[in-house]
Structure 1
Amino acid sequence: MGPLMFLKLGSIDTVVVSSAEAASEIMKTHDLIFCDRPNSKVNKKLLYGFRDVSVAPYGEYWRQMRSICVLQLLSNKRVQDFRVVREEETALLVKKIKERSPEAVNLSELFMTLTNDIASRAAFGRKYSEGEGGEKFRKLMKEFVGILGGFDFGTFLSSLAWIDKLSGLEAKVERVAKEMDGFLEGVVEEHLYSSNTIVENEKREDFVDVLLGIYKQNMDGFSIDRDGIKALILDIFAGGTDTTYTVLEWAMTELLRHPTAMNKLQNEAREIAKAKSEIVSEDELGKMHYLKAVIKETLRLHPPIPLLVPRQARQHVKVMGYDVGAGTMVITNGWAIGRDPEIWEDAEEFKPERFLNSDIDFKGQDFRLIPFGSGRRGCPGISFAMATNELVLANVVRNFDWQLPNGAKGADLDMTECTGLTIHRKVPLFAVATPNNF
């Protein structure tokens, strides 16, 4: 397969981008031309008529919403404001694992709950993971993300929209949209009419508080309505849970398959944090170069959204000498770029060492590694997600020695991926933890 491939998906002209050079042309050279999103019937229903930041049409509304994300919700200062939340939830995770030792623990489930709790406390001011309500919310979020990553015939060929109705997809979308709106409306009402909108009895503004402040004050002349608030919170929450725990799940999978890499990371974390009696704090993370290399290598092999969120051409343009017409949908295959043998030596092998003396990063400036996209439509929540990933992974490997259940070897691990917007393991990751006594 070449760097560009043309497909006809129903009535929609589609170009698949599979090289770093082609991705650079799309997201850098012609970023303004490719800064729109395709019009999906499912997205329109689930995301409040495209009122969120991820799929809103390019224009003044989108610029204002992204500005709110970057300056008010996901700035470096805001990320640091929630440091105590990350450290508290990570300490609880370590405690849970210790309590279950020597039984095998479901790391997939633990990581999902952890990222859910961190995102809940940051976005909503409290957790939504416990009890019957928590289970219902997790199921709803799983359905929501699954539908977003699915396929609806009506978007690609209107004459086949009846299939979506017959298959039950249309009814499912209606139900999930209604249930999710009901949940989010309850959160907004709680914040509007309750003075107790603090995180775990601490005076810290959560994301809903910030957005309601803008809503009430009409800040900078920009008016955000309640649907806009709910759409943006849904973006932040979904992005802060599903994609984040996917990285942790695959990182631990690869470390269990590669004991030498696991030992290197454990030694680094234990050496740098040797004076700590409990968890590694965020202060030590900057010194953990192998930790950062492991996460980069995980993102290279297992980008959370392998086919980055699609873009759409706003006008005719030439890409690598080929004509791309206005309205063409562009899908960037981040998975293929991360495994391109012309870029990466031993491209299919897990080798974190390749990043130890490399300036390649995942923040959108180097198109060899673009798990979060780049340009105007790049993910604004990278810092928030990575702060969680680094802290959790450092503590999980530092505090425990790990092995697979029943004496299984790394080569025995099932690496099958599930389908959907984000690519998790199809089979949950179980492992046995033995507490390490320093």
Structure 2
Amino acid sequence: MLAIRRRLVTNLLPIVQTRAHKMEENKTDGIFSYADSLLSLELPGGGKLKESEVTTLCYEFLTAGVSTVVSSLQWAMANLVKYPDVQAKLFKEIERVTQKNGGVINEEDLKKMPYLKAVILETLRRQPTIHTLLPHRVSEDISLEGYTIPKNTYVSFMLVSMGLDGKVWQDPLEFKPERFMGGESGTREIKMIPFGAGRRVCPGMGLGMFHLEYMVAHLIKEFEWKVVAGDEVDMAESMEMDIDYVMKKPLQACIVPRK
């Protein structure tokens, strides 16, 4: 962690300092950036953020949703390689929606692809990249399902356990996007929370889902993804970097152009 911090400071701190000097000299070329907003922020009670704090916040802004989206994308494609029938069904949906505009996938087209969204949601249920949410602290004594949770107790939510709960999901170990096409997934109950829920829900949820749907749609539209001969898809997971769970054995696939 110390090595990561040193690399972060080496790469970003000079950029923040340069921006601070430009603000002092009023040479920002009429652009007001995220770093500018942090450097000009007045803290409650007076004072400003330190340059090291601004550097950390800029790093979070740039990378908070990157590793999790990349991991989820690889898990989604691994499932589509492992289950060619699901891939074929998804490709038919993409073809049907895009045939009117020459095969181009626009943002609005994604809303017309429910099976695509179901594939992403089933991936997030079956292989959530983060297994536990950030802990929350109870502000007062509370009773929940017969359990007493005292004030100031830290509570963690096990996302992976929720997604694999046999009392909630039928055949929880199976990859079945159809469960999100209505019925089992439900609309009134919270059965999985890969982005959290309530006031502390991930602010990047919409962007993360858009990135996953957009990239998966293009990868399936342009290529057929097949298992490499003699190399079956290994769905074992590992937490080696950061906080997200990745494929222990990175996906290897035989990619064939559709056209």
Pairwise TM-score range, normalised by the shorter structure: 0.7 to 0.9
Aligned to 2:253: 431
Alpha-carbon distance, 1:231 to partner:
3.0
1:401 maps to amino acid: E
Q: Is the alpha carbon distance of 1:184 and 1:327 closer, same or farther for their aligned partners in structure 2, counting shifts above 3 Å?
A: farther
Residue ranges of structure 1 left out of the alignment (5+ in a row) = 1-172
Aligned to 2:239: 419
- Contact 1:197-1:209 within 8 A present in 2 as well: no
Please give the alpha-carbon distance, in whole angstroms, between the structure 2 residues aligned to 1:424 and 1:252.
Answer: 13
Deviates more, 1:351-360 or 1:393-402: 351-360
- Say which structure is richer in helix: 1
- Contact 2:237-2:245 within 8 A present in 1 as well: yes
Determine whether 1:232 maps to 2:57: yes
Secondary structure in 2 aligned to 1:247? helix
- Contact 1:272-1:288 within 8 A present in 2 as well: yes
Aligned to 2:2: 174
Please give the alpha-carbon distance, in whole angstroms, between the structure 1 residues aligned to 2:85 and 2:148.
Answer: 48
Alpha-carbon distance, 1:387 to partner:
1.5
Determine whether 1:213 maps to 2:213: no
- Contact 2:168-2:191 within 8 A present in 1 as well: yes
Considering only aligned residues, what root-mean-square deviation do their CA atoms show, in Å? 3.2
Please give the alpha-carbon distance, in whole angstroms, between the structure 2 residues aligned to 1:291 and 1:276.
Answer: 18
Q: Is the alpha carbon distance of 1:179 and 1:277 closer, same or farther for their aligned partners in structure 2, counting shifts above 3 Å?
A: same
Aligned to 1:332: 157
Determine whether 1:393 maps to 2:195: no
Aligned to 1:367: 190
* Larger RCO, structures 1/2 (Cα 8 Å, 6+ apart): 1
- Contact 1:248-1:389 within 8 A present in 2 as well: yes
- Contact 1:360-1:369 within 8 A present in 2 as well: no
Aligned to 1:342: 167
Aligned to 1:265: 90
Please give the alpha-carbon distance, in whole angstroms, between the structure 2 residues aligned to 1:247 and 1:413.
Answer: 15
Please give the alpha-carbon distance, in whole angstroms, between the structure 2 residues aligned to 1:432 and 1:349.
Answer: 23
Alpha-carbon distance, 1:331 to partner:
1.8
- Contact 2:179-2:185 within 8 A present in 1 as well: no
> For 1:230-273, what per-residue CA distance to the aligned partner results, in whole angstroms no more than 9, with x for missing partners?
33333333321111111111111111111111001111112212
Please give the alpha-carbon distance, in whole angstroms, between the structure 2 residues aligned to 1:385 and 1:216.
Answer: 29
Q: Is the alpha carbon distance of 1:302 and 1:187 closer, same or farther for their aligned partners in structure 2, counting shifts above 3 Å?
A: farther
1:215 maps to amino acid: L
Alignment of 1:23-422 (within 5 A): 173-192=1-20, 209-213=33-37, 215-216=39-40, 218=42, 225=49, 226-276=51-101, 279-358=104-183, 360=185, 366-406=189-229, 408=231, 412-419=232-239, 421-422=243-244
Q: Is the alpha carbon distance of 1:338 and 1:233 closer, same or farther for their aligned partners in structure 2, counting shifts above 3 Å?
A: same
Question: When the two structures are aligned, how many residues end up with a matched partner?
Answer: 253
Alpha-carbon distance, 1:431 to partner:
0.9
Q: Is the alpha carbon distance of 1:214 and 1:239 closer, same or farther for their aligned partners in structure 2, counting shifts above 3 Å?
A: closer
- Contact 2:135-2:154 within 8 A present in 1 as well: yes
- Contact 1:279-1:395 within 8 A present in 2 as well: no
Alpha-carbon distance, 1:181 to partner:
2.4
Q: Is the alpha carbon distance of 1:282 and 1:197 closer, same or farther for their aligned partners in structure 2, counting shifts above 3 Å?
A: farther
Secondary structure in 2 aligned to 1:306? coil
2:37 maps to amino acid: G
> For 1:198-219, what per-residue CA distance to the aligned partner results, in whole angstroms no more than 9, with x for missing partners?
9xxxx9x7xx813413533659
Secondary structure in 1 aligned to 2:194? coil
Alpha-carbon distance, 1:330 to partner:
1.7
Please give the alpha-carbon distance, in whole angstroms, between the structure 1 residues aligned to 2:226 and 2:42.
Answer: 54
Alpha-carbon distance, 1:193 to partner:
5.1
Please give the alpha-carbon distance, in whole angstroms, between the structure 1 residues aligned to 2:221 and 2:73.
Answer: 15
- Contact 1:191-1:209 within 8 A present in 2 as well: no
- Contact 2:125-2:192 within 8 A present in 1 as well: yes
> For 1:25-52, what per-residue CA distance to the aligned partner results, in whole angstroms no more than 9, with x for missing partners?
xxxxxxxxxxxxxxxxxxxxxxxxxxxx
Residue ranges of structure 2 left out of the alignment (5+ in a row) = none
Alpha-carbon distance, 1:372 to partner:
1.2
Please give the alpha-carbon distance, in whole angstroms, between the structure 2 residues aligned to 1:353 and 1:321.
Answer: 34
Q: Is the alpha carbon distance of 1:404 and 1:378 closer, same or farther for their aligned partners in structure 2, counting shifts above 3 Å?
A: same
Please give the alpha-carbon distance, in whole angstroms, between the structure 1 residues aligned to 2:134 and 2:10.
Answer: 26
- Contact 1:404-1:431 within 8 A present in 2 as well: yes
Scaled by the length of structure 2, the TM-score of the pair is 0.84
Alpha-carbon distance, 1:279 to partner:
4.8
Q: Is the alpha carbon distance of 1:436 and 1:234 closer, same or farther for their aligned partners in structure 2, counting shifts above 3 Å?
A: same
Q: Is the alpha carbon distance of 1:406 and 1:222 closer, same or farther for their aligned partners in structure 2, counting shifts above 3 Å?
A: farther
